[in-house]
């Protein structure tokens, strides 16, 4: 692709004042840091029918300062494929970015996500994972953690969280990584790396939803930090689907410190063995992969 010098000295912010995100929504931080990582690049956003599209607010105003296509759940990676194909026929360099919740990623949109990843389309797909169907009242999704109370799991979810990173790695895409809104440096580094690579890139961001998590809005970034430090949400990268790099290891922070601040986990208060067993198993797997298939310095940049 030919790189052109940006013609405008100033572009709109990605997330503008007047957006309709709830206080403490993880998307608000994620979109602002994505904006910072983009620099002068002007992306095209593709967003299915999740909270991310409601963020824009009511027509004719928009909380998004960039061209944004609203799609059905099933079609966002396919729509992004079309836009990316057209952009790649021009001299311009507009990253095409899918921004989707976990319902649209782990569940409803998984077929077209898989298809676009398998074709290695030139797209960045970012899942802001709030571990529920937030926009429709907080139902459980494939991303909901075991034990979490949602509007459809009143006794606590009995199944574990789907390993979407392993699913994406199995497509052998050039780059997959997890993002923390509690670690700006790591977040920006990974998004900038993703922007420098061609092909399908997948980023997974844990995205607090105070409304559904029954947590305090001003605790959102601290909650993500606790999820990372306790090992529940590992920070790592996967190159070409096979080479692993761990960015931050657990530091003995008890997972209870994370669970106790969210009423959705009330069934696990003083009863966190199952989720701790999940953390331990997850880390045995990650450490094994990073030992046997370590990542070398990334090389394939635009
Ligand atoms: C095919 C289809 N099924 C269900 C819905 C209803 N629906 C609208 S938003 C939503 C929840 C989406 O959850 P998620 O993708 O996790 O994003 P969030 O709302 O949490 O931001 C659902 C189920 C829909 N619009 N289309
Ligand atoms: S319901 Fe949750 S995900 Fe949706 S805007 Fe509010 S805090 Fe964000």
Task: Read off the pLDDT of residues 23-72 as tens digits, 9 standing for 90 and up.
Answer: 999 999 999 999 999 999 999 999 999 999 999 988 888 999 999 999 99
Which among 48, 173, 35 has a CA at the least distance from the CA of 100? 48
Answer for the pair 180, 186: CB distance below 8 angstroms, yes or no.
yes
**110-118 vs 76-87: helix crossing angle, rounded to 10:** 30
Q: Report the percentage of the chain scoring pLDDT > 90.
A: 91
Amino acid 9: pLDDT: 55
Residue 212 near ligand 2, beta carbon < 6 Å: yes
Residue 99 scores a pLDDT above 70? yes
**For residue 297, is it within any domain?**
no
223-261 pLDDT, tens digit each: 999 999 999 999 999 999 999 999 999 999 999 999 999
Mutate which of 78, 99, 136, 141 for ligand 1 pocket (most atoms within 8 A of beta carbon): 136
In the reported structure, the alpha carbon of residue 72 is separated from the centroid of ligand 1 by a whole-number distance in angstroms of 9
pLDDT of residue 61: 86
CA distance 179 to 236: 8
Q: Which ligand is nearest to the CA of 15?
A: 2
The DSSP secondary-structure symbol of 153 reads B
Q: What string of DSSP letters covers 182-199?
A: T-HHHHHHHHHHHHHS-S
Flag whether 139 is in a domain.
yes
| Residues in Cβ contact with 93 at an 8 Å cutoff, skipping those fewer than 6 apart | 1, 2, 3, 4, 41, 87
pLDDT band at 296 (very low <50, low <70, confident <90, very high): confident
pLDDT band at 3 (very low <50, low <70, confident <90, very high): low
Q: Does some domain include residue 159? A: yes
Which CATH number belongs to the domain containing residue 140 in this structure?
Answer: 3.40.50.970
Ligand closest to 57 (CA) is 2
Q: Which residues touch 38 (CB under 8 Å, ≥6 apart)?
A: 14, 95, 191, 195
| Strands 175-179 and 235-239, sheet pairing | antiparallel
The domain of 137 spans: 26-292
Is the residue at 20 inside a domain?
Answer: no
- Whole-Å CA distances, 6 to 29, 42, 89: 25, 9, 17
193-220 pLDDT, tens digit each: 999 999 999 999 999 999 999 999 999 9
For residue 61, is it left (φ>0), alpha (ψ between -120 and 50) or beta?
A: beta
pLDDT of residue 11: 81
Give Rg (Cα) of the chain.
Answer: 18
Average pLDDT, stretch 106-120? 98
Give pLDDT, residue 203.
Answer: 99
Question: Is the pLDDT at 300 greater than 50, yes or no?
Answer: no
H or E element in which residue 229 lies: helix 220-229
Is residue 187 within 8 A of residue 38, CB to CB? The reply is: no
Distance 139 CA to ligand 1 centre (A): 9
Q: How many domains does the chain have?
A: 1
Q: How far is the CA of 105 from the centre of ligand 2 (A)?
A: 16
Assign residue 252 a region: left if phi > 0, alpha if psi is -120 to 50, beta otherwise?
Answer: left
Residue 101's pLDDT band, with cuts at 50, 70 and 90, is very high
- C-alpha span between 237 and 297 (Å, rounded): 12
Q: Is residue 197 part of a domain?
A: yes
Per-residue pLDDT at 76 exceeds 60: yes
In a domain, residue 1? The reply is: no
Q: What is the pLDDT of residue 60?
A: 87
- Atom 5 (ligand 2): residue with closest C-alpha? 21
pTM of the entire predicted model: 0.95
Does residue 9 belong to any structural domain of this protein?
A: no
For residue 104, being part of any structural domain is answered with yes
Give strand pairing partners of 96.
44
């Amino acid at each position: 692709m030919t790189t052109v010098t940006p013609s405008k000295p100033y572009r709109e912010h990605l997330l503008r004042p007047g957006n309709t995100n709830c206080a403490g929504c993880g998307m608000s931080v994620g979109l602002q840091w994505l904006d910072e990582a983009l620099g002068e690049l002007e992306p095209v956003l593709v967003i299915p029918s999740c909270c991310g599209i409601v963020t824009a607010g009511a027509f004719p105003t928009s909380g998004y300062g960039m061209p944004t296509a609203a799609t059905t759940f099933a079609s966002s990676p396919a729509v992004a494929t079309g836009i990316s194909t057209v952009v790649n026929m021009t001299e311009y360099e507009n990253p095409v970015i899918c921004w989707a919740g976990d319902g649209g990623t782990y569940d409803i949109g998984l077929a077209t996500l898989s298809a676009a990843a398998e074709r290695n389309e030139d797209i960045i797909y970012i899942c802001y994972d709030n571990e529920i169907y937030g926009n429709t009242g907080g139902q459980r999704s494939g991303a909901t953690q075991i034990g979490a109370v949602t509007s459809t799991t009143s006794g606590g979810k009995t199944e574990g969280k789907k390993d979407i990173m392993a699913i994406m790695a199995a497509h052998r895409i050039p780059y997959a990584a997890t993002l923390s809104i509690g670690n700006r440096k790591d977040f920006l580094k990974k998004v900038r790396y993703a922007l420098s690579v061609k092909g399908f890139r997948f980023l997974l961001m844990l995205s607090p939803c105070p409304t559904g998590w029954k947590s305090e809005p001003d605790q959102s970034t601290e909650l993500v930090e606790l999820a990372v430090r306790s090992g529940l949400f590992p920070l790592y990268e996967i190159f070409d689907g096979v080479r692993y790099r761990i960015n931050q290891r657990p530091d003995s922070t008890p997972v209870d410190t994370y669970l106790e601040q969210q009423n959705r986990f009330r069934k696990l208060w003083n009863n966190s063995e199952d989720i701790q067993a999940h953390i331990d198993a997850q880390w045995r797997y990650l450490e094994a992969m990073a030992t046997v298939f370590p990542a070398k310095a990334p090389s394939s940049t635009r």
